[in-house]
A and B are shown apart, each in its own frame.
Chain A
Amino acid sequence: KQEVTQIPAALSVPEGENLVLNCSFTDSAIYNLQWFRQDPGKGLTSLLLIQSSQREQTSGRLNASLDKSSGRSTLYIAASQPGDSATYLCAVRRGNNNDMRFGAGTRLTVKP
């Protein structure tokens, strides 16, 4: 059974810092991995999707890496801003269906 763990559970940083969020998974046989952002009352927003054959994806100040062999993914946020404050969720998909497993998330607070 796939287990997805996110560390840390919560993180508070001053504005402008670069930061890394971690996601680990127990079964390396994944189809893809997705990072989401969750804002209160607004559901989930997809940030980056990494296919199993890829090692990283970038979007603006966000960079996500994937190391399947070690069962790890990181989300790097450059020059953090208060608007980045949210809960970040990592999810892995086993196949091209809806077998998606979520981590419990990292709650990020960026202080002005």
Chain B
Amino acid sequence: SAVISQKPSRDICQRGTSLTIQCQVDSQVTMMFWYRQQPGQSLTLIATANQGSEATYESGFVIDKFPISRPNLTFSTLTVSNMSPEDSSIYLCSVALDRLVETQYFGPGTRLLVL
């Protein structure tokens, strides 16, 4: 298994600002992902964070809005840029230990409120 921590756990931000969320894993993992969970809705995959290269974004998500870094096998960041109230969500980091992605482990999430 993997133990995942996220910082911050929650934040309240002003419209137009940006917030960077950190994800730290206690062991090296092959795959790291970022999800969004809007109020009352299901989890939606934002992107797959690739070590040493640009993230792979899902339809509807773009790098300018959600830049992602993954400098090594245990750490990744997601930035929510130029925030609006519609960005208020829980953002979750997830990892898989191998490329088969049989089981994913999730971090505790970052609860973001944009005013």
The answer on a CB contact under 8 Å between B43 and A89 is: yes
- How many A residues face the partner with a CB closer than 8 A? 23
Contacts of A93 in B (CB 8 A): 101
Given A41-B109, A44-B92, A98-B48, A105–B33 Cβ distance below 8 Å? no
In the bound assembly, the distance between CA atoms of A43 and B4 in angstroms comes to 9
In the bound assembly, the distance between CA atoms of A98 and B106 in angstroms comes to 13
CB < 8 Å neighbour of B101 from A4, A41, A89, A98 = A98
Q: Mark A32-60, 1 if CB is under 8 A from B, else 0.
A: 10101000011111100100000000000
CB < 8 Å neighbour of A103 from B42, B48, B106 = B42
In the bound assembly, the distance between CA atoms of A90 and B78 in angstroms comes to 25
- A residues touching B (Cβ–Cβ < 8 Å)? 4, 32, 34, 36, 41-46, 49, 89, 91, 93, 96-98, 100-105
- B residues touching A (Cβ–Cβ < 8 Å)? 4, 9, 31, 33, 40-45, 48, 92, 94, 96, 99-109, 111
